[in-house]
Amino acid sequence: MHQSFSVALALSFAALALASGGANDWSYSGRDGPQRWGLKPEYSACDKGKAQSPVNLLSSRVKKEGFPELVMPSLKKANVSTSKHTIQWTPADGAEGGNDRFMVVGGAKYSLAQFHIHTPSEHHVDDKYYDSELHFVHKTADGKLAVLGVFLEESVAENPLWSAALSKVPDVGKSTVLDTLLDTSEIKAAVGNGYYNYQGSLTTPPCSEGVQWFVASTPIRMSLAQIKSVAKIIGFSARPVQYNEALAAQSDDGHSGHDGHGAQDDKGKESAASSQDKHSGAATGIATSVASFAGLAALLALMF
């Protein structure tokens, strides 16, 4: 079932890429897919890099203490733009340059430049993926990057904090300005519960390295309808998990209980979709697992 799912998915997105055309010279499948990004000289880091993202994270390596100072007042206004690969929210309130939303990493101030969404998640945890992942991209004045990743997991109830942000998403290739956008309290709460930190890269071409990644270990919840409303627009938008030399060295360092699949496989080998499992909402029991599975099927049905 998983195999035919992958093939159908690839075909679906090849069609989607053709339909949307667009300026981007990369895609998530087919001729311009992730396996071929690095063939273009300007994207060579995608192939040759040794600290690439996303990766498979190990739950045994969650950090509880020491999350960087994070200042993220709720968003009152943002420019929302949709490309064929993502929906992106760029703050349009507060101080110029977004200086009122920032993280302090290693003594340097990284201001929030934008945040965007992937479906399903790009990072995996213990070889499982989530329904979706938000990336809050923070930058220093001289261009260094720190990205905060937050997983989204399907729940029965709608998440009211995201209703406004997801209510008026423009069509692909368009942008719009939205008011009263997002209460960020649950994002700040999520990072307080634990996080992963590693040195990686952009997950899209040019795959530049030197990116400080912080990924909250606790997902935030959204209804299937909310997640579908995003997936319907951007489709499959996750780079496969990558080899990352420093993380691989950490994993070899006396860690056991990991089955060896996923991020730390041979470089360039895409983790087969068939070997990946979704986080199943185990905390809320079987009903949620069944609902999630039905939800995934519904999501796929929507996309074909």
Question: Which of positions 212-231 make contact with Zn ion (CB under 5 A)?
Answer: none
Alpha helices in the chain (DSSP H): 2-20, 45-48, 185-192, 224-234, 245-252, 286-303
Dihedral class, residue 207 (left if φ above 0, else alpha if ψ from -120 to 50, else beta): left
Collapsed DSSP state (helix, strand, coil) of residue 232: helix
Rounded to a whole number of angstroms, the minimum distance from the CB of residue 238 to Zn ion is 9
Rounded to a whole number of angstroms, the minimum distance from the CB of residue 85 to Zn ion is 9
User: Looking at beta carbons only, is 135 or 139 nearer to Zn ion?
Assistant: 135
Question: Which of positions 118-157 make contact with Zn ion (CB under 5 A)?
Answer: 135
Rounded to a whole number of angstroms, the minimum distance from the CB of residue 118 to Zn ion is 6
User: Looking at beta carbons only, is 132 or 226 nearer to Zn ion?
Assistant: 132
Size of the site for Zn ion (CB under 5 A): 1
Rounded to a whole number of angstroms, the minimum distance from the CB of residue 123 to Zn ion is 10
Rounded to a whole number of angstroms, the minimum distance from the CB of residue 198 to Zn ion is 15
User: Looking at beta carbons only, is 202 or 222 nearer to Zn ion?
Assistant: 202
CA nearest neighbour of 246 among 51, 46, 45: 51
Nearest residue to Zn ion, scored by beta-carbon proximity: 135
Q: Binding to Zn ion by residue 279, rule CB under 5 A?
A: no
Alpha-carbon distance of 118 to 124, in angstroms, equals: 13
User: Looking at beta carbons only, is 101 or 135 nearer to Zn ion?
Assistant: 135
Angle made by CA atoms 240, 120, 193, in degrees to the nearest 5: 100
Alpha-carbon distance of 304 to 299, in angstroms, equals: 9
Rounded to a whole number of angstroms, the minimum distance from the CB of residue 111 to Zn ion is 17
User: Looking at beta carbons only, is 135 or 138 nearer to Zn ion?
Assistant: 135
User: Looking at beta carbons only, is 84 or 280 nearer to Zn ion?
Assistant: 84
Render 38-86 in DSSP notation, one character per residue: GGSGGGTHHHH-SB-S--EE-GGG-B-S-PPEEE-PPEEEEEEEE-SS-
CA Rg value for the chain: 18
Alpha-carbon distance of 39 to 44, in angstroms, equals: 6
- Contacting residues toward Zn ion, per CB under 5 A: 135
